[in-house]
Amino acid sequence: MAALDLTTPKPPDPGPAADASLGELVGQATKELSALVRMEVELAKAELSGEIAKVGRGAGMFGGAGVAGMYALTFLSLAAMFGLGAWLPLGWAALIVAGGFLTVTSILLLTGKKALRGFSPVPERTIKTLKEDAQWARHPSS
């Protein structure tokens, strides 16, 4: 007949973290926190670079509207004004031409404004993940 082993069983090995000193645990937490901060900074950079591209397109539209308006009012208005001046008094011809070019400039300005409509300078995804990280840090077991 086999003898029964009545000794207290050994608890399972909890892993290397149980054998770590307080200093090692703090060091590991510091490394993980710094890695988390680096990842959040990278996310913010990626998010803001997309927003900066939108601003660039909108600013380009405004710049294009300014340049187009300047050249249009200078050269084409003179040519059209003198062309219409053959049938109308020169003052009325100038007003008609200026109104046409102001319409084109307005369309370019509205297009630039529309391009900037969705711009948000706040990195919303980064803020969301930071809130999630803070929640996890307060309640890591959840």
Question: What is the DSSP annotation of 119-136?
Answer: --SS-HHHHHHHHHHHHH
78 within a domain of the structure (yes/no) = yes
117 within a domain of the structure (yes/no) = yes
Query: CA–CA separation, 22 vs 29, rounded Å?
Result: 11
Query: CA–CA separation, 4 vs 12, rounded Å?
Result: 21
Q: Which domain holds residue 94?
A: 23-129
Q: Where are the alpha helices (DSSP H) in the chain?
A: 16-19, 22-71, 77-84, 90-116, 124-138
Radius of gyration of the CA atoms of the chain, in A: 35
pLDDT at 101: 79
In which residue are the tokens 């207290």 written?
8
Q: Are the CB atoms for 108 and 65 separated by under 8 Å?
A: yes
- Of 8-12, 19-23, 134-138, the least confident: 8-12
Number of domains in the chain: 1
Please write the tens of the pLDDT for every residue from 21-37.
888 887 888 888 888 88
pLDDT surpasses 70 at 126 = yes
- Of 15-29, 36-50, 52-66, the least confident: 15-29
**Entry pTM:** 0.37
Query: CA–CA separation, 36 vs 121, rounded Å?
Result: 22
108 within a domain of the structure (yes/no) = yes
